Structure 1
């Protein structure tokens, strides 16, 4: 069998349909009809978790919050709630994707495949790539050992890329997860922040453009 997927969904008809589609797509689904906190180390058995928000006896975001205290397993949220505030809250708590109900199961399967192709986010506090150092805990950046002063948005943008070294991160994801959606949530604004970040990092050009997709962090030579 393929990658193990944990599905947490209380709707019996929808859950059975999703589990069937996942199985036929080559995955190995485990289906929970009720929500509960995952025990330490339990999440490591799965390549991805599909999580409903409205569960009997608990709330999906509480499960997500507890999970993110010790695990980076990708989480895809399913919810009938399509309010922007709910989506932003879920993404800020560490969700990797958000789908609203109703949806096509075929699209869900493709989103699962896409998420599993991406590198898992790095959790360590100090990230290094070539001459670039990003200290997530201290919120400090150094290039060739010299400190670089960044704004809040510039640091969060760099940190988001540094956690996925070498992986292309879409402009839409960066807009939704780095920028303030109430004030500056546009791809045009994102590009301005990227331009300023590049100037501050210097001629190494660590932030590379992936045309048609977004940006990635490389060791240099990007444009």
Structure 2
């Protein structure tokens, strides 16, 4: 079987359709028909959570909030609520994607696949060293050849995202969606400005390489 997906959806017809499409795409879905208070012990071992918001039992955003207190498993929100404030709140609470109902099942499957291909923040991240560049996600510290580098919140988030997959390209779209502030206008041009500033702070021999047509990646520099 493929990767395990937890679906939390109270609509019996829609839930059955989603389960069928997930199975057809090679995934192994577990279907909960109501919201539950989540704990580390009660969460199944899954690679992704597909979560409705308007649920009997425990409201979807409350489930998301409690989930983020102990797990960074990716979460894709499904909701009939199309209000921007609902989307912003879900993203701020830790959702990775947001789809509004009604939707095409084929799009849902592709979003699930895309989300599973993306780097995921782990609850306890190890120190990453790429050449002479050292990133400590837990301490929120960066150094080059032992010298500390002061970064803004966005610059650090950008560098940490790239450090989770060193030497691998991360798309500009993913970085825009997951690094830039969702309450402000996040554009690829804004991302490029942050990358430019980050490069200046790290120095020309250590830093972020452009992958044309894709995005950026973190590589050891010539001076490492």
Partner of 1:71: 71
Whether contact under 8 Å (2:74, 2:120) holds in the other structure is: yes
Partner of 2:98: 98
Partner of 1:128: 128
Whether contact under 8 Å (2:91, 2:182) holds in the other structure is: no
Rate the CA distance shift 1:147–1:92 in 2: closer, same or farther, 3 A.
Answer: same
**Post-superposition shift, 1:41?**
4.0
Q: What 5-or-longer segments of structure 1 have no aligned partner?
A: none
The normalised TM-score by structure 2 is 0.87
Partner of 2:45: 45
Rate the CA distance shift 1:151–1:121 in 2: closer, same or farther, 3 A.
Answer: closer
* CA–CA distance in structure 2, aligned partners of residues 140 and 156 of structure 1: 11
* CA–CA distance in structure 2, aligned partners of residues 162 and 85 of structure 1: 31
**Post-superposition shift, 1:6?**
0.8
Moved over 6 A (4+): none
* CA–CA distance in structure 2, aligned partners of residues 220 and 43 of structure 1: 41
Partner of 1:201: 202
Tell me the secondary structure at the aligned position of residue 58 of structure 1. Answer: coil
Tell me the secondary structure at the aligned position of residue 127 of structure 2. Answer: strand
What is the number of equivalent residue pairs in this alignment?
A: 221
**Post-superposition shift, 1:181?**
4.3
Q: Could you tell which deviates more after superposition, 200-209 or 98-107? A: 200-209
**Post-superposition shift, 1:192?**
0.8
Rate the CA distance shift 1:202–1:41 in 2: closer, same or farther, 3 A.
Answer: farther
Rate the CA distance shift 1:119–1:188 in 2: closer, same or farther, 3 A.
Answer: closer
**Post-superposition shift, 1:106?**
0.8
Rate the CA distance shift 1:124–1:50 in 2: closer, same or farther, 3 A.
Answer: same
Rate the CA distance shift 1:40–1:182 in 2: closer, same or farther, 3 A.
Answer: closer
Partner of 2:29: 29
* CA–CA distance in structure 2, aligned partners of residues 86 and 209 of structure 1: 34
| Deviation sequence 1:82-113 (CA, Å, 0-9, x none) | 23332232223222222111111011111112
Rate the CA distance shift 1:125–1:51 in 2: closer, same or farther, 3 A.
Answer: same
* CA–CA distance in structure 2, aligned partners of residues 108 and 81 of structure 1: 16
Q: Could you tell which deviates more after superposition, 178-187 or 154-163? A: 178-187
RMSD of aligned residue pairs (Cα, Å): 2.2
The normalised TM-score by structure 1 is 0.87
* CA–CA distance in structure 2, aligned partners of residues 7 and 85 of structure 1: 23
Tell me the secondary structure at the aligned position of residue 142 of structure 1. Answer: strand
Whether contact under 8 Å (2:37, 2:58) holds in the other structure is: no
Q: Could you tell which deviates more after superposition, 168-177 or 192-201? A: 168-177
Partner of 1:216: 217
